[in-house]
Amino acid sequence: MKRLTTTPRKDWQKIVEKQGLLYHTIDGVPYWDESVYYSFTMDQVDEIEKATGELHTMALAAAQNIIDNKRYAQLQIPDFIIPLIEKTWNEEPPALYGRFDFSYDGKNPPKMLEYNADTPTSLLEASVIQWYWMEDKFNKDQFNSIHDKLIAKFKSLKEYLYPGPVYFTAQDTWEDYMTIQYLRDCAEQSGLKIFGNKLTTESIRLEDVGWDSKDKVFIDMDFKQIKNIFKLYPWEWMIHEEFGQHLLECTDMFWMEPAWKMLLSNKGILPVMWELYPNHPNLLEAYFDKPAHFARYAKKPLLSREGANVKLVTAQDTYRTPGEYGEEGYVYQQLAMLPNCDGKYPVIGSWMIDQEPAGMGIRESDGPITDNFSRFVPHIIDGCCR
């Protein structure tokens, strides 16, 4: 695993905009940074892929343990939403995607930092943008089958979708808009036909999703019933919205992602996984309460995002990030510092599409905590061994 510099393509901003990446620069600083890239050997990629598949299986087992033993309170999950979690778990509706975050230096086994299994972003960058960058710059390969697997997954949804369009909704931000438009495009490219008609899609702002109390259905701005919807909005936020109380009342509706994804994206899954698989090479020790033997550790809120309210304690220093999370409680995880590569700290985002490892993306930060100022950098596979 090497961090290498390269010359950005001429007019790279226009190139990535045409490919859908509108959110490529923040305050004059590139978020998509193609002045550097990471080179991996095939052995290293195989190691990341293997860890991703194993950890996903282990995460599902941890979710089953939470359900079987009614451990929802440890994850601060409200009682009223438990029936929907268990209903979707038992009915096994399709799950679309998720992203593991790894600390990995190319020498030691990848260590799982967390699993964003509900609303991960940086999807378009990982699937399409870095692939075309590689084709323009190198005659190499890449760990990346994300796009093809997404299209195949949408194509397989025929038996689950209700008649009518699939709606795509998110918060009103460039990053979220970009992600749902990409997923919407994948759905349309799938060629999926429902009841003889080609799949149609609609974008809708989250605040424009309404509730019809008479018919007990969700509706759009034209009062049409919403029967299929992908939401890039965390379940733990949805259940506290005004319409959250109605989620169990609407029975004929297909949600992506399913409600059981709340269990995997909650940091509380980390102590449960360690409890079930102690000393697994890809896991870090994790607990709901700080153990006495922890001198170097990460303290993470159960529900934080983009590195907010994280505390890292090393032998020499303590690092903190601000934010609005933490009231729901914390987990304590053995410290696995991100590698320092030329003063930058890369985190590996390894993607699951339709229950299969599908590729990776890398985000770099200026400090050891990956936050919302991190930059996306591409990668290639170059060589067969370490």
Average pLDDT by stretches of 10, the chain with 386 residues:
96 96 89 97 98 98 98 96 96 94 97 96 96 95 97 94 94 88 95 87 92 94 96 93 87 93 97 98 98 96 88 93 89 96 96 97 94 92 69
Residue 151 belongs to a domain: yes
Residue 77 belongs to a domain: yes
> How many structural domains is the chain composed of?
1
Residue 286 belongs to a domain: no
- Give the Cα separation of 102 and 347 in Å (integer): 6
Strands 36-40 and 379-381: parallel
Residue 226 belongs to a domain: yes
Residue 119 belongs to a domain: yes
Residue 187 belongs to a domain: yes
Residue 133 belongs to a domain: yes
Residue 313 belongs to a domain: no
Q: Which structural domain, as residue segments, surrounds residue 352?
A: 2-266+341-381
